[in-house]
Structure 1
């Protein structure tokens, strides 16, 4: 693909029809054939490779949140391993790519000089310090920071609440013990007596739900909550329905989740 991009830019540069496009293509052609650009592309490629499965699962919303939360932890671990152990392999990968396409490979021990600036005005640091410390480490740390910020222990438990209640796959993710523990996050909504009652109510509720085809055909929480109201099951299981309403108040099933998860795009910038 890289060679095709070079060919396309060269073709635009040699085109006499549009001088503005020729100029922009000429500048772009210079940029993409630098070590800086190749390093950026390979770093982003490797990071997106780690987070790709997580991104795909998160787009499914509440239908696959259990797997999503597992993948969050896996991504954190892999990103940390990449930061700790993958510098040498990345430099080798970038170097081989540059040699294949006749791009100058920099010496990490030489002083760093930004593209388009003179050495005199460049910051006094080595290529190794810039690419390893100020770039490689910082980009990965930013990604880890965002994942830790948006998927800490408390928020993860809240997000999993949807999965425990979800009707998908015949309520396969239902977990009575974990749903009971979630009530501790809502002390104003569940008294000690309510929690005791809920413990018995949940077992009757799940047996009831699994015995009716009308509920087993549902996949999303919103559809499920509507069906509960239509069948007046919300009155039969008021405490369970309260849990469902609290779960639906979470942003995971709304457009706000896309804004929250879009922080992963930081690696593209």
Structure 2
């Protein structure tokens, strides 16, 4: 790896380059920079900060990633779930919670936040630390909610096309629900749908 790399074509101005430097800088670092740039383009600053805050609940390595300030900041993104008094109580609960779970052998070797939620319910910790458990629930539901929104916006471009750009909100909603929830509607018999549609209002012919 320390041997000089034979450069094909034009001679580079930076001088001789070893194989190790080529693989480490020209390839490995370049790939990492490209991946980081793609991640930065995919997530906004708010989304990135949310992910960093949620990661503070990770129970791996004896809750090594725990950060009370980040978790309080995470709660600030949900003003409808946390009011002024809740923020004060949350700080106290977080201090007690981290000291409790780090000393509890039942919370060792947890693999993720989902395991943490299950263990908190099993050991009744969700009753002792309700605000901390609320953060855990919000963390678990955040990816699902985000995915649902992304699916809805992706489906909208197929439903609300150039020819149907004046479609009303109610009609748009009625069209989006069957398109997004295809699995649910595939389980419904077509005969039942026609009967229900026939009952909506009198029609000239029976479907």
TM-score range, shorter chain: 0.5 to 0.7
Match of 1:235 in 2: 127
After superposition, residues 69-218 of structure 1 pair within 5 angstroms as 75-76=36-37, 143=38, 147-218=39-110
Higher relative contact order (CA 8 A, sep 6+): 1
Conserved? CA contact 2:54–2:71, under 8 Å: no
Match of 1:248 in 2: 140
Conserved? CA contact 1:159–1:250, under 8 Å: no
Match of 2:30 in 1: 50
Structure 2, gaps ≥5 residues long: 1-25, 151-207
Cα separation, partners in 2 of 1:47 and 1:192, compared to 1, 3 Å? farther
SS in 2 for 1:248: helix
Cα separation, partners in 2 of 1:205 and 1:54, compared to 1, 3 Å? farther
SS in 1 for 2:99: helix
C-alpha displacement at 1:161, in angstroms? 2.6
> How many residue pairs are counted as aligned between the two chains?
123
TM-score, with structure 1 as normaliser: 0.41
C-alpha displacement at 1:216, in angstroms? 1.7
Conserved? CA contact 2:56–2:65, under 8 Å: yes
The runs of 4+ residues in structure 1 deviating greater than 3 Å are 46-55
After superposition, residues 216-231 of structure 1 pair within 5 angstroms as 216-231=108-123
C-alpha displacement at 1:47, in angstroms? 8.0
C-alpha displacement at 1:162, in angstroms? 2.7
- Distance in structure 2 (CA, Å) of the matches to 1:47 and 1:248: 36
- Distance in structure 2 (CA, Å) of the matches to 1:148 and 1:52: 12
TM-score, with structure 2 as normaliser: 0.53
**Higher relative helix content:** 1
SS in 2 for 1:178: helix
- Distance in structure 1 (CA, Å) of the matches to 2:41 and 2:86: 32
Conserved? CA contact 1:162–1:221, under 8 Å: no
CA offsets, 1:102-138, max 9 Å, x none? Answer: xxxxxxxxxxxxxxxxxxxxxxxxxxxxxxxxxxxxx
Conserved? CA contact 2:56–2:66, under 8 Å: yes
C-alpha displacement at 1:179, in angstroms? 0.7
- Distance in structure 2 (CA, Å) of the matches to 1:54 and 1:240: 36
- Distance in structure 1 (CA, Å) of the matches to 2:51 and 2:92: 23
C-alpha displacement at 1:158, in angstroms? 1.2
- Distance in structure 1 (CA, Å) of the matches to 2:31 and 2:60: 25
Conserved? CA contact 1:161–1:247, under 8 Å: no
Cα separation, partners in 2 of 1:248 and 1:50, compared to 1, 3 Å? farther
